[in-house]
Amino acid sequence: MNKNQNETDVWEVSETIDNAPLEPIPDAPAGLGEVPPKKHAPLQSDIRLRRMIAAALFAALAYLCVFVFRIRIGFLTFDFKDAVMTVGAFWLGPVAGVVTAAIVSLFEMISVSSTGPYGLLMNFASSAAFILPASILFRAFRTRRSAVFGLFASVFTMVAVMLPLNLLITPLYQHVERSVVADMIPGTLLPFNLVKGTMNAALTALLFQPVRQALHRVKILPPDEEPRRLPAWVIPAVAGVVAVASCLVCFLVLGGKFSLHR
């Protein structure tokens, strides 16, 4: 029996321990009857603890992105926290991704944002709209193809959600007429959200496999049994090209500026 098979067996046992049938104990004292098997119970609790630690780590890394790398285009600002949270949601689930987005948005509001509750709402809506399509589609099929299609869906969902929200919310904290914001859609808001979504999708694709391997090593995920139909370098290479092209559009076409939070 090879190593991967052993890891798979351990994972399957840990997943089914909660529903394991009762086992009789020979020569048990009167009144004990049957008790559930205990020899694998610590493994299940250990996996849950590791998943909680992983969720906290993804939240911390996403919050760190707010400080390390920010791009400003006019009054609009974005970073790469959505990519980090989406990678976490792939492995920990859509609910964990949305909760992480809420926590990071709250901490961003009370620490670095100057837009108050308006910024909180916009940041959370943008992150949740990006995280949910990709993570739900991937969790349903568990393939690299579903992850790629999910990222395409995330980009378009985020754009579809944010443009109406910009019309509703931006006039409130920018103190401008709604018609002014509407005029900004084709030249600023639409390309900004497209570039933001594309860059986060590209970075998510770059982080996908390294994070997957790391979570396998610490036994948060079962062994990877999905057959590879493409060489391992194809998706990272394409994602890298897309990321570079998006950066060029952001800085050269939209006039974006790199900034660190001070």
Across the range 222-235, mean pLDDT stands at 64
Q: What are the extents of the domains in the chain?
A: 48-60+74-224+232-259
- 48-60+74-224+232-259 folds as Arp2/3 complex 21 kDa subunit ARPC3 (1.10.1760)
Q: pLDDT by residue (tens digit) across 143-161? A: 888 999 999 999 999 999 9
Looking at per-residue confidence, does 39 or 88 come out higher?
Answer: 88
Collapse the DSSP code of 220 into the 3-class scheme (helix H, G, I; strand E, B; otherwise coil) and give the result: coil
Q: pLDDT by residue (tens digit) across 118-131? A: 989 999 999 999 99
CA distance 202 to 112: 25
How would you classify the pairing of strands 70-73 and 34-35? Answer: unpaired
| Lowest pLDDT segment from 26-35, 104-113, 244-253 | 26-35
Q: Which of 155, 250, 147, 244 is nearest to 197 (CA)?
A: 155
Token representation of residue 23: 């086992």
How sure is the predictor about 31, in pLDDT bands with cuts at 50, 70 and 90?
very low
Q: Which of 250, 257, 251 is nearest to 193 (CA)?
A: 250
142 has a pLDDT exceeding 90: no
Find residue 23's DSSP bridge partners: 35
- Round the average pLDDT of the chain to a whole number and report it: 80
Contacts of 91 (CB under 8 A, 6+ apart): 54, 211, 212, 215, 220, 221
How much is the pLDDT for 233? Answer: 65
